[in-house]
Amino acid sequence: MRPDGSILEADNPNRIVVTEEQHAAVRRSEALRKMLTSGRLERCIRHIDGSTDRAAALERARLNPEFAAFLDQLLVDIGMARRRPDGGVEFTG
pLDDT in tens, 28-57: 999 999 999 999 999 999 999 999 999 999
Q: How far is CA 48 from the centre of its chain?
A: 13
**Measured CA distances, 45 to 38, 73, 88 (Å):** 11, 15, 22
d(CA 85, CA 89): 9
Flag whether the pTM goes above 0.85: no
**Measured CA distances, 56 to 38, 60, 64 (Å):** 22, 6, 14
pLDDT of residue 44: 97
Q: Tell me the H-state helices in the chain.
A: 20-28, 30-35, 39-50, 54-61, 65-77
One-letter amino acid for residue 76 of the chain: V
